[in-house]
Amino acid sequence: MFNDSSTARLVDRVRILVEQSAAGSQLPSTRKLAEQHGVGPVTVQRAIRQLTTEGLVETRPGTGNFVARRLPVQNSDFSWQTTSLGASRVDSAPVGSSMMTVSPDVIALHSGYPADELLPLRQIRGALSRAARSPVAARRPHPSGLGELRDWFAQELSMSGTTRIHGSDVLITPGGQSALSSTFRALAGPGDAIVMESPTYWGAVAAAKQAGLVVVPVARAAQAPDPGDLAAALTSSGARIFYAQPHFANPTGAHWSRDEQDAIIDVARRHGVFVVEDDWAHDFGIDAEVTPLAARDPDGHVIYVRSITKSVSPALRVAAVVARGPARRRIETDRTIDDLYVSGVLQSAAVEVLTHPSWNSHRRMVRDLLRGRRDALIDALDAAVPELALTHRPLGGLNLWLRMPDGSDPEAFAARCLSRGLSISPGAEWFPAEPPGAYVRLNFGGSHPDHFPEAARILAGALRA
């Protein structure tokens, strides 16, 4: 509902008119309603929009506004679907709290996305407008993606290491989640095992289970899993895939050292398995640079996934999969069957933003802003709620990973915070198996730092309740 009192009064008056009128009858024009009730046309439009949302008014462009048809109340019976569908392939909640939508007055530390001021919104709006007017708007792009965009991803990866990546190694997908789903389906079949770090990205766990894979967790040591533990998990499970986030992992913010990267790649080579490297936070480095594993992998053990949705715009669902050899062909086949192709308009806009000179300066600005936000939230937590122990200061990414006191209930804690005006992400959903302790994830990139002291006070009150 609108807070404008004149709009609210007009909504009530027009609602009475609707209830007294026959279904399908036309309402007075916007001009007429404005004259009758002494309000402006904008107020009338807001009132009609509200009544349309309530299902009381139907708007017909070019004709006017009409009393909506009154459909009979019915109680549908969907019980037959229980038997027909059978058991769910996802045995736990497949959608994490980071996808939750909250009201504007709630301090949002649960989100998986950065705030608008961290995005190149002016550039993306202009790029989308120009792409919509260009020839790509009426053409079907190649299933693998626009050549210019594939070449950009290939060049970016090649410049990071010693392995030459070609545009033909790159597949464009509608977002990183879609890339993971296709990669898992292409490289393994139902009933096969996949090894994952624990904790890890809930979306990867859900995608693996949706593909019918058995998730085998391996705990982190310092930042990366212990090579011996990884080798044992691969041997005992027979898994051919290890999914990992080596750079500013979600949710922990962990960042593998160069030695850890080399040790993990060595395990993959010895066991003949694929490492699916999810480089979701490539553009969110703060105190460390990203050197992808795939940039130092000449033999195709690493399948590289990089999305620009978070760093450019949530509306730009574009990501890349870099794979070589037969694995690439299998992933491409799955992508083509699943989506046929990614919108040429989105791809063309992405090319313009990523190749513009302002992109690198924007990334430098984001680095500084994220450092300030990270440190501001840590300082606020230290001052107000020292009981939440920061596992480590992340070198990049968007999140803090905090340990709660033993015996705490993260789900109940998150619910208490939400009732007080703060949304956070409870830790259990980030573990592919039972969590070994009580954790919460706080996103420092999605809310303004001015809200952090109040967020810390809410956390303290909810924890001590």
Predicted confidence (pLDDT) per residue in 376-393, tens digit: 999 999 999 999 999 999
Distance CA 265, CA 270 (A): 9
Q: Tell me, what amino acid is at 240?
A: R
Distance CA 340, CA 343 (A): 10
pTM score over 0.85? no
In angstroms, the Cα distances linking 333 to 7, 140, 165, 277, 329 are: 53, 17, 20, 20, 6
The domain that contains 393 carries what CATH number? 3.90.1150.10
Domain-located, residue 92: no
Give the residue from 358, 376, 392 where a domain finishes: 358
Angle in degrees, 0-180, between the axes of helices 358-384 and 452-464, rounded to the nearest 10? 40
Give the pLDDT confidence score for residue 3 in this predicted structure: 46
Domain-located, residue 84: no
Two tokens, residue 411: 């789900």
The domain that contains 61 carries what CATH number? 1.10.10.10
Query: Same structural domain for residues 147 and 55?
Result: no
Query: Same structural domain for residues 373 and 339?
Result: no
Q: What are phi and psi of 203, to 5 degrees?
A: -65, -35
pLDDT band at residue 94 using 50, 70 and 90 as cut-offs: low
* Residues facing residue 303 across a β-bridge: 276
Query: Same structural domain for residues 208 and 291?
Result: yes
Domain-located, residue 146: yes
Query: Same structural domain for residues 169 and 283?
Result: yes
Give the residue from 303, 326, 358 where a domain finishes: 358
Using DSSP, state whether 324 is helix, strand or coil. coil
Query: Same structural domain for residues 382 and 352?
Result: no
Query: Same structural domain for residues 321 and 454?
Result: no
Query: Same structural domain for residues 271 and 412?
Result: no
pLDDT in tens, 190-244: 999 999 999 999 999 999 999 999 999 999 877 899 999 999 999 999 999 999 9
Lowest average pLDDT, out of 19-33, 384-398, 438-452, goes to 19-33
pLDDT band at residue 349 using 50, 70 and 90 as cut-offs: very high
Query: Same structural domain for residues 228 and 312?
Result: yes
Strand 170-173 relative to strand 319-322, pairing: antiparallel
Segment 119-126 mean pLDDT: 93
Segment 440-459 mean pLDDT: 95
Burial of 10 from C-beta contacts in 10 A (0-12 / 13-18 / 19+): buried
- 436 preceded by cis ω (within 30°)? no
pLDDT in tens, 355-382: 999 999 999 999 999 999 999 999 999 9
Domain-located, residue 81: no
Domain-located, residue 34: yes
pLDDT exceeds 60 at position 35? yes
pLDDT band at residue 90 using 50, 70 and 90 as cut-offs: low
Share of the chain above pLDDT 70, in %: 97
Q: Are the CB atoms for 370 and 447 separated by under 8 Å? A: no
214-222 long-range Cβ contacts below 8 angstroms, 24+ apart: 215/432, 215/433, 217/431, 217/432, 217/433, 219/436, 220/252, 220/254, 222/257, 222/260
pLDDT in tens, 157-201: 998 878 889 999 999 999 999 999 999 999 999 999 999 999 999
Q: What is the DSSP string of 412-459?
A: HHHHHHHHTTEE-EEGGGG-SS--SS-EEEEESSSS-GGGHHHHHHHH
Check residue 191 and give left, alpha or beta (phi > 0: left; psi -120 to 50: alpha). Answer: left
| Domains in the chain, number | 3
Domain-located, residue 88: no
Give the pLDDT confidence score for residue 4 in this predicted structure: 65
Lowest average pLDDT, out of 101-105, 146-150, 269-273, 371-375, goes to 101-105
The domain that contains 260 carries what CATH number? 3.40.640.10
Its domain, for residue 55, covers 5-67
Distance CA 46, CA 60 (A): 16
Query: Same structural domain for residues 228 and 334?
Result: yes
pLDDT exceeds 80 at position 87? no
In angstroms, the Cα distances linking 228 to 219, 234, 394, 434 are: 11, 10, 25, 21
Closest by CA to 265, choosing from 305, 299, 293, 224, is: 293
Share of the chain above pLDDT 90, in %: 74
pLDDT in tens, 403-420: 999 999 999 999 999 999
Domain-located, residue 210: yes
Give the residue from 358, 378, 397 where a domain finishes: 358
Query: Same structural domain for residues 198 and 344?
Result: yes
Query: Same structural domain for residues 20 and 106?
Result: no
Across the chain, mean pLDDT equals: 91
* Residues facing residue 212 across a β-bridge: none
pLDDT exceeds 70 at position 401? yes
Query: Same structural domain for residues 104 and 247?
Result: no
Give the pLDDT confidence score for residue 154 in this predicted structure: 95
> Rounded to the nearest 5 degrees, what angle is found at the Cα of 283, between the Cα atoms of 424 and 432?
45
Domain-located, residue 83: no
- 251 preceded by cis ω (within 30°)? yes
Q: What are the residues whose beta carbons fall under 8 Å from the beta carbon of 146, sequence distance 6 or more?
A: 136, 172, 344, 347, 348, 351
Give the end-to-end CA distance of the chain in Å, rounded to a whole number.
33
Segment 322-347 mean pLDDT: 92
Distance CA 422, CA 461 (A): 11
Distance CA 415, CA 408 (A): 13
pLDDT band at residue 2 using 50, 70 and 90 as cut-offs: very low
Q: Are the CB atoms for 290 and 247 separated by under 8 Å? A: yes
Distance CA 293, CA 255 (A): 12
Give the pLDDT confidence score for residue 283 in this predicted structure: 95
